[in-house]
Amino acid sequence: MVHIREICEADIEKAVESLVHAFYDDGLVCYMFPEEKFRKEFITWTYERWLRLLMTFNSVFVDEDVQGVAGCIPPSLYPHIPFHYIIKAGFFRAVPKLIFRNFWRPLRAYWDNQSRTRSEVKEPTWILDILGVHPSAQGKGIGSALVQHLISCANRDKVPAYVITHKEKNIIFYEKNGFTLLNKKYSLPGGPPTCSLIYKPL
C-alpha cells in the first residue's frame, strides 16, 4: 500500500526532481518550451516556486519516497489564488526569462487553462493542479494513491475535485479513479488537447 503524506521542506528538492523527470518530455511542456536546455532550467525554476507557494496552504502531497507529487489548490482559495501570493512567489521574474523566447505559447497555455477552469469551476473545489510521478516509479500505484488522497479530501469537505490534463491517455486513468470527462478540446494551435474532468463528492 502506498502511503501518502503532506510534503515538508526537506522534500522540496526531491519533489522538484521527480516532477522535472515526469514532465520533461510531456506534450504540453514540449509545446511551450521546445528548446531542451531552457525547458529543463525553466520547469525546475517554476516547479520549486509553485510547490513552495502551494505548501503555504498545506496542499502538496507526496508518497514516502517522494517519487510522486500532487500539487493541489484547496477549495478555501476559490475562485483563485490571491494575486499577492503569486507576486511573493516571484513568478513575475519569469517574464524576462521568456520574453526573448517563445513567449506566446506558455502565455496561451496559461490563459487556456485559466479560462477553462473559470468556465467550469463554479463553486469551492479541490483542484489537482499538477500530478507527476518519476518515470522510474510509474506503474506502481503512486499516481492513483495521490489521486485517491485528493478524492478523500473532496469527500471530507463535501466539494468536487477538478483536473485538467493534456494527455488523452490520462482520461482513462482519471476515470478509473472516479472522475468524469467534462470537455476535450484542441484549443492550443498545434498543441495537445485540453481535457477537463470532474469528481463529484459522495
Q: What is the pLDDT of residue 99?
A: 65
Which residues span the domain enclosing 11?
A: 4-199
Q: Which residues contact 151 (CB under 8 A, 6 or more apart)?
A: 161, 177, 178, 199
Other CB atoms within 10 A of residue 58 CB: 11
CA distance 72 to 62: 11
The pTM of this model reads 0.94
CATH number (domain holding residue 107): 3.40.630.30
Instruction: Give the N- to C-terminal CA distance of the chain in Å, as an integer.
Output: 23
pLDDT of residue 103: 78
Strands 126-133 and 60-63: unpaired
Please tell me the total count of domains within the chain: 1
Edge-to-edge strands of the sheet including 126-133?
4-6, 60-63, 68-73, 126-133, 161-165, 194-199, 180-185
How far is 196 from 96, CA to CA, in rounded Å?
31
Q: What is the pLDDT along the chain (202 residues), one digit of tens a residue?
A: 999 999 999 999 999 999 999 999 999 999 999 999 999 999 999 999 999 999 999 999 999 999 999 999 999 999 888 888 888 877 777 766 676 667 788 889 999 999 999 999 999 999 999 999 999 999 999 999 999 999 999 999 999 999 999 999 999 999 999 999 999 999 999 999 999 999 999 8
